[in-house]
Amino acid sequence: MIAIPYLTALSTYFSYGLLFLFGQIRDFFRKLIDWSSANNLHGYAPLCLGLEDFYTRRLYLRIQDCFGRPIASAPDAWFDVVERFSKDNNKTLNRTSNTTKCLNLGSYNYLGFAASDEYCTPRVIESLKKYSPSTCSSRVDGGTTTLHVELEKCVADFVGKPAAIVFGMGYVTNSAILPVLMGKGSLIISDSLNHSSIINAPAHLEEVLKEQIADGQPRTGRPWKKIMVIVEGIYSMEGELCKLPEIIAICKKYKAYTYLDEAHSIGAVGKSGRGVCELLGVDPADVDVMMGTFTKSFGSCGGYIAGSKELIQYLKYTCPAHLYATSISPPAGEQIMSAIKVILGEDGTSRGAQKLARIRENSNFFRSELQKMGFEVLGDNDSPVMPIMLYNPAKIPAFSRECLRQNVAVVTVAFPATPLLLARARICISASHSREDLLKALEVISRVGDLVGIKYFPAEPSKQLPDSDSKKCD
């Protein structure tokens, strides 16, 4: 649970209040102008209506240049950000032909496979020549190649499950699977924001399970047909590791199924990159359904579900994403398999082990240095995701724009992706970052933090950063 300083919360509420008030005043005059002017849609209900539309028009558009920044290169440690400009106060953004080379602290390129790789790239090119970019068919029609069969076996072996099924989109992996597994009379226990505030507190989880089992289904009171507890390996907005051993023990006690989402943890943590089960000493057999994506650590696209052979066979008969969606692109599948081989050392080198050691070292070093500077940093050690709390809405664009001006690209996250008061900058560390890259980022972030005023804790006494001959920023 994040404890917000009283004055910070007060100033944040005040800032949002001012934005809301002026937005309502502008909307009032807008309605007067629209009423007085001829309109072909007179009598129609507005297509966009409600607080979401108001938030988009009056708050988001003011700072939309901080989001969706296009890039013109591979998302490596450094990449080219396309410059944009606006002539109408940020309502529309126009791209230019100019680019700025920036240090990349926003991409999920945890192990550095998103850039050209000496082992993966040649094999991806060969698969492109052999299979083409797309199968142009679903898996049950003509979209299953020998590569897809090999990929599913490779993934199942990697995560320690008997079988796996793969999909062409990570988001669909969850959204298409859960309705198939959990029908009428089933209960899903998960945080509304996929954060750690409910599920990652085992004592609270036990209370919820006890209450739901005792009360049963609403109105009828009948027992739940099945209960599924959904947790994330690394919480994407918090950078926090789930308390998986405790959660599994509670689920076993109350006969609830465990669904582990490893979108941000598979490949990134664990001695051999096998995720939180390996890191926390959990037997994969104790997790009923394992889900993950290939868009982070493997430099590809798509996602997977791993479980028992019976579960995977059932999903192949019933899951809409398998029955109707185009199968994962063969070159993307080859990239995944090649990345796994590098991670496991099957390419004949130790590069995979070096990548895993480097991302762990980079993450812990960067988190430690940020905390020493006085930033409020969320998350646990070994996690490559580290949110820096901003809180106030005015600090979101200030931090993002100033970092970009100094050639550091960061991702800022605000409502509705987070609660209204908990805006943050989400830093993602990669194994492709050198120590010099991290020192450059720390210098810039420290300087911008002083300028914007987001160092909410006292800094440790100033001293030279390791391996750096650059001066400490005031």
**Measuring CA to CA, how many Å separate 199 from each of 234, 242, 382, 417?**
12, 8, 20, 18
Output DSSP code: residue 138: B
**Does residue 215 contact residue 193 with C-beta atoms inside 8 Å?**
no
Quote the distance between the C-alpha of residue 351 and its chain's center: 25
**Measuring CA to CA, how many Å separate 3 from each of 9, 265, 367, 383?**
10, 26, 19, 21
d(C-alpha 455, C-alpha 443), whole Å: 14
**Does residue 400 contact residue 426 with C-beta atoms inside 8 Å?**
no
Output DSSP code: residue 190: -
Alpha helices in 160-243 (DSSP H): 170-181, 202-215
Q: Residue 430: which region, alpha, beta or left (left: phi > 0; alpha: psi -120 to 50)?
A: beta
d(C-alpha 273, C-alpha 340), whole Å: 9
Peptide bond into 384 cis (omega under 30): no
d(C-alpha 341, C-alpha 265), whole Å: 18
Question: Which position has the token pair 């998986």?
Answer: 244
**Measuring CA to CA, how many Å separate 167 from each of 131, 364, 449?**
17, 32, 41
Sequential pLDDT tens for the chain (474 residues)? 577 888 888 999 999 999 999 999 998 888 888 776 666 666 777 777 778 888 888 889 999 999 999 999 999 999 999 999 999 989 899 999 999 999 999 999 999 999 999 999 999 999 999 999 999 999 999 999 999 999 999 999 999 999 999 999 988 999 999 999 999 999 999 865 444 333 456 888 889 999 999 999 998 999 999 999 999 999 888 889 989 999 999 999 999 999 999 999 999 999 999 999 999 999 999 999 999 999 999 999 999 999 999 999 999 999 999 999 999 999 999 999 999 999 999 999 999 999 999 999 999 999 999 999 999 999 999 999 999 999 999 999 999 999 999 999 999 998 888 888 899 999 999 999 999 999 999 999 999 999 999 999 988 876 555 554 444 343
Phi, psi of 47 (to 5 degrees): -70, -40
d(C-alpha 232, C-alpha 241), whole Å: 8
Output DSSP code: residue 234: B
d(C-alpha 24, C-alpha 15), whole Å: 14
Please tell me the predicted confidence (pLDDT) of residue 42: 65
**Does residue 146 contact residue 152 with C-beta atoms inside 8 Å?**
no
d(C-alpha 216, C-alpha 76), whole Å: 50
d(C-alpha 266, C-alpha 274), whole Å: 6
Q: What is the pTM of this model?
A: 0.89
Please tell me the predicted confidence (pLDDT) of residue 193: 47
Beta strand spans in 298-354 (E): 303-307
Please tell me the predicted confidence (pLDDT) of residue 326: 94
**Does residue 353 contact residue 232 with C-beta atoms inside 8 Å?**
no
Cβ partners under 8 Å of residue 121, min gap 6? none
Q: What is the DSSP annotation of 99-136?
A: EEEEEE-SS--TTSTTS--TTHHHHHHHHHHHH-S---
Tell me the HSE value of 400 on the side-chain side, using a 13 A CA sphere: 24
Coil vs helix vs strand at 468: coil
Sorted by where each starts, the structural domains of the chain and their CATH numbers stand as 119-344 (3.40.640.10)
